[in-house]
Amino acid sequence: MEFFRNPNIDFLGKKWYFLAFSLVFSVAGILSMLFWHGIPLGVDFRGGTLVYVKFSHAPEDNAIRAAMDRAGLHNARIQTYGPPGNNEVLIDLAEQETSEQSLDKGKTQIINALESNAPAGKQDLNNASSLTLYNYLLDKDPLHAGTDANQRYTAQAQAIVDYRDKSRGGVLGSIDELKGAADPAVVASLSDGFYVSDFGVRNVEIVGPQVGAQLRKQALLATLYSLAGMLIYLGLRFEWIYGVAAVVTVFHDTLITVGAFSLRDYPISLTVIAAILTLIGYSNNDTIVVFDRIRENIKLMRRESLSEIVNRSINQTLSRTILTAGLTFLTVLALFLFGGEVLHGFSFALVIGILIGTYSSIAIAAPILVAYQDWRIKRGARAVIPGGGGKSSGDGKGGSKPGAGSGPGRVSKASVSR
């Protein structure tokens, strides 16, 4: 079975279509970043408090907002998190509420506000740690345990917490649900000291302003080092113009990916940066494969023009390119569909990145090589990359217009139709 038997597509000829396509997406992204959603930064980079709360019923926005207002948190952003069936909500306090004097003040305020209708003297079973349970059980001693009270109650407390977290997603509907999980006497004794609220805190992220600034700097440095590394490596392995072409390609890919996040208004977190760095690596790989083939063909095809060589190289590697992209995309798609909400930003970046990264090796990197060659030849300079049509080396000014087509009498195997 084979998808591409001897393909013969004139990629370079379509370069204006490619350029238009890229421009549309780049400009849309840039406009969004400048004027619409800006670059949405995750809490890692802007600092702030995020509390992820799961409810035992469909969360009511108004009730939550009212609770936040009562706590004085008027700037809290409340959004649904994940698929609606999860009943999960993300409460986002801007960085003003997150000062290093008391880093977790915002979080405590949120939890207190949500617990506002707690019966006096009772603790929330949905947000109790196993230690709290253990201390309570030790005190109450429902099993009349003797010397091994410590172990038994530790085990009971852990069993209750495990059941709540692993089987019920962290939120119990009522104390009765614990009937199968722990000793009946233990379960019966809980109602004296605990009540069951309608929410459980799943995840908390609090990033102070100092760390936010640090992480921003680190992300920037990592990206710059990556790009620099690429430039140097490619400059050494090939010629420097190859390095430049690769960097421009990668820049294009990153721009479109970040633009996609801006259009969607989806926050860019640390893991998203990791995904972007990965797709830089992937796009680079792709570009290298094409460049390797171009270099090989330049040695073999001494009489064809550069654009013919490039076209042929792309066609020869097309099968591999599409296959690899397809297979990697399959895995990334699996991640996007099944990987859960926490990885969503990461997998989204990769989905876009793989598609654009593959496209750009063909549509951006290769034409840059040829365009540069043409530009140099037009300016009368010597052909830097061999294969420049009529031998223009040394002759310089006013030479025949080479590079674009084949000279008379030359039968290119890759005869392309314009």
Q: Which is nearer to other proteins, 87 or 392 (CB)?
A: 87
Query: Among residues 64, 89, 207, 362, which is the contact residue for other proteins, using CB under 8 A?
Result: 207
User: How many Cα atoms within 13 Å fall on the side-chain side of residue 200?
Assistant: 23
Count of other CB atoms within 10 angstroms of residue 323: 12
Each residue of 18-46: b (16+ CB within 10 Å) or e? beeebeebeebbeebbeeeeeebbbbbbb
Q: What phi-psi label fits residue 284: left (phi over 0), alpha (psi between -120 and 50 degrees) or beta?
A: alpha
Build a one-symbol-per-residue string for 133-152: x at contacts with other proteins by CB under 8 A, - elsewhere. Answer: --x-----------------
Indicate whether 240 belongs to the interface with other proteins (CB under 8 A).
Answer: no
Query: Among residues 100, 148, 176, 265, which is the contact residue for other proteins, using CB under 8 A?
Result: 100
Cβ proximity of 306 and 373 under 8 Å: yes
Q: How far is the CB of 264 from other proteins (least distance, A)?
A: 20
Cβ proximity of 310 and 374 under 8 Å: no
Q: Which is nearer to other proteins, 273 or 369 (CB)?
A: 273
SS3 66: helix
User: How many Cα atoms within 13 Å fall on the side-chain side of residue 144?
Assistant: 0
Near other proteins by CB under 8 A, which window of 25-33, 100-108, 117-125, 298-306? 100-108
Q: Which is nearer to other proteins, 34 or 213 (CB)?
A: 213
Taking CB under 8 A as the criterion, which residues in 377-416 touch other proteins? none
Query: Among residues 219, 268, 314, 351, which is the contact residue for other proteins, using CB under 8 A?
Result: 219
**CA angle at 276 for the pair 272 and 279, rounded to the nearest 5°:** 135
Q: Which is nearer to other proteins, 50 or 258 (CB)?
A: 50
Indicate whether 169 belongs to the interface with other proteins (CB under 8 A).
Answer: yes
Indicate whether 247 belongs to the interface with other proteins (CB under 8 A).
Answer: no
Build a one-symbol-per-residue string for 252-291: x at contacts with other proteins by CB under 8 A, - elsewhere. Answer: ------------------xx-xx--xx-xxx-xx--xx--
Separation between Cα atoms, residue 367 and residue 37, nearest integer Å: 32
Query: Among residues 193, 339, 390, 405, which is the contact residue for other proteins, using CB under 8 A?
Result: 339
Q: How far is the CB of 186 from other proteins (least distance, A)?
A: 20
Q: Which is nearer to other proteins, 65 or 271 (CB)?
A: 271
Indicate whether 203 belongs to the interface with other proteins (CB under 8 A).
Answer: yes
Burial class (CB in 10 A: 0-12, 13-18, 19+), 402: buried
Each residue of 338-354: b (16+ CB within 10 Å) or e? eeeeeebbbbbbbbbbb
Indicate whether 319 belongs to the interface with other proteins (CB under 8 A).
Answer: yes
Total of chain residues touching other proteins, rule CB under 8 A: 83
Q: Which is nearer to other proteins, 65 or 216 (CB)?
A: 216
Pairing of strands 48-55, 199-207: antiparallel
**DSSP H/E element including 223:** helix 209-237
